[in-house]
Amino acid sequence: MRVVGRYALYEEIAAGGMATVHFGRLLGPVGFSRTVAIKRLHPQFAKDPEFVSMFLDEARLAARIRHPNVVPTLDVVATQGELFLVMDYVQGESLSRLIRASRERQQRIPVRYVATIITGALHGLHAAHEAKNERGEPLRIVHRDISPQNVLVGSDGVSRVLDFGVAKAAGRMQTTREGQLKGKLAYMAPEQIGGEVTRQTDVYAAAIVLWEALTAQRLFTGDNEGQILSKVLSGEHMPPSALAPELPPELDAVVLKGLAKQPAHRWATAREFAIALERCCGIASTTEVGEWVESMAHGALTKRAEKIAEIESSSANIQPQEMTTAHVPEHLASHPSLSGRSGPHPAADPPVSQASQLSSISVSREASSAKKPRRNLAIAIAGIATLVGVIIVLAFKLGHNKTDDARTGSPPPETTHATATETATAPPPPTVVATATQAPTPTVTATATATANTGHINIRHTSTAAYTAAPPPPTATATATATSSKNCDPPYTLDAKGHKIWKRECM
Contact (CB, 8 A) for 305 and 313: no
Task: Report, as residue numbers or ranges, the catalytic residues.
Answer: 145
- CB count within 10 Å of CB 57 equals 26
Residue 74 CA: distances (Å) to CA of 30, 154, 246, 426: 20, 18, 43, 69
> If you ran DSSP here, which 8-state letter would residue 217 be given?
S
Q: Which long-range contacts (CB under 8 A, 24 or more apart) does 303-306 make?
A: 304/13, 304/91, 305/91
End-to-end Cα distance, the chain: 92
**What are residue 498's DSSP bridge partners?**
none
> If you ran DSSP here, which 8-state letter would residue 168 be given?
B
Residue 325 has φ and ψ, to the nearest 5°, of -70, -15
Rounded Cα gap, residues 249 and 239, in angstroms: 9
The secondary element (H helix, E strand) that includes residue 77 is strand 73-79
- CB count within 10 Å of CB 448 equals 18
Task: Please give the angle made by the CA atoms of 283, 103 and 148, to the nearest 5 degrees.
Answer: 60
- CB count within 10 Å of CB 284 equals 20
Rounded Cα gap, residues 257 and 234, in angstroms: 15
